[in-house]
């Protein structure tokens, strides 16, 4: 039951993009083309899950026992950047087709604050390893859901005649705000 609550909370109630406003740049940047959504979501899910496991292990075996939690952000950033670089190189050598699919998104994930945000949230919530993995996967699903919804809305907005001053980023930000308000309807569903 705990895992189901974590899933519902991460996808709907505390959606990483629409409730916590982490990872807004990919939503604004990649939502123009709906065909890019699965690749970006898959790459984020892969890196997010692996980095959550690694940062969890670092937190429990190094930072807490040696009382150096103040180094958490620096160590997490370095770990995530190293993981993305390593994944990029391994994919390039092992599977060129998978590299063609995910490789485009990997450099962008290095600067995606969703990855760092989830690692820090896992440490703050003091989840166990399995709960951390479920939280990471659920957050990826929530990120993908926000990306799909936003891409669909932006696709429909491209068919509408907007005032010149509202085209592009202004209408995207207003849309993001309206989506965030819509997702507030899930508040209180799960604590």
Give pLDDT, residue 71. 95
% helix / strand / coil in the chain, to the nearest 5? 80, 0, 20
Q: Is the dihedral of CA 113, 117, 120, 123 positive or negative?
A: negative
Question: What pLDDT does 183 receive?
Answer: 87
Residue 131 has a pLDDT of 95
pLDDT of 99 reads 74
Give the pLDDT confidence score for residue 30 in this predicted structure. 64
Q: Give the closest residue to 151 by CA, choosing from 27, 21, 18.
A: 27
Q: Could you tell me the residue ranges of all domains in the chain?
A: 2-25+36-186
Please tell me the distance from the alpha carbon of residue 26 to that of residue 79, in angstroms, as a whole number: 21
Q: Name the pTM for this structure.
A: 0.87
What's residue 167's pLDDT?
A: 85
pLDDT of residue 42: 84
pLDDT at 31: 62
For every one of its 191 residues, what pLDDT tens digit does the chain have, with 9 covering 90 and above? 789 999 998 999 889 888 888 887 777 776 667 777 887 888 889 899 999 999 999 999 999 999 999 999 999 999 999 998 888 888 888 877 777 766 667 777 776 788 999 999 999 998 999 999 999 999 999 999 998 898 888 888 888 888 999 888 888 888 888 988 988 888 877 76
Backbone angles phi and psi of 15, in degrees to 5: -55, 130
Enter the DSSP assignment of 20: S
If you ran DSSP here, which 8-state letter would residue 161 be given? -
Per-residue confidence (pLDDT) for residue 136, from 0 to 100: 96
Q: What is the dihedral of CA 43, 48, 54, 55, to 10 degrees?
A: 140
Take residue 144 and report the two structure tokens written for it. 């993908």
pLDDT for position 56: 96
Smallest CA-to-CA distance from 123 within 190, 22, 54, 66 is with 54
């Amino acid at each position: 039951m705990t895992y189901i609550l974590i899933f519902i909370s991460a996808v709907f109630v505390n959606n990483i993009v629409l409730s916590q406003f982490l990872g807004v740049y990919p939503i604004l940047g990649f939502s123009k083309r709906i065909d890019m959504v699965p690749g970006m979501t898959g790459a984020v899910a892969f890196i997010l899950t692996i980095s959550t496991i690694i940062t969890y292990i670092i937190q429990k075996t190094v930072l807490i026992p040696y009382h150096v939690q103040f180094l958490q952000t620096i160590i997490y950033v370095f770990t995530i950047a190293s993981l993305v670089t390593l994944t990029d190189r391994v994919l390039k050598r092992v599977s060129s087709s998978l590299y063609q699919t995910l490789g485009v998104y990997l450099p962008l994930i290095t600067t995606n604050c969703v990855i760092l945000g989830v690692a820090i949230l896992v440490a703050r919530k003091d989840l166990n390893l399995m709960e951390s993995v479920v939280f990471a996967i659920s957050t990826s699903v929530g990120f993908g859901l926000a990306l799909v919804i936003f891409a669909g809305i932006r696709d429909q907005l491209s068919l509408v005649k907007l005032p010149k001053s509202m085209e592009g980023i202004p209408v995207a930000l207003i849309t993001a705000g309206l989506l965030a308000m819509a997702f507030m309807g899930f508040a209180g569903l799960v604590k």
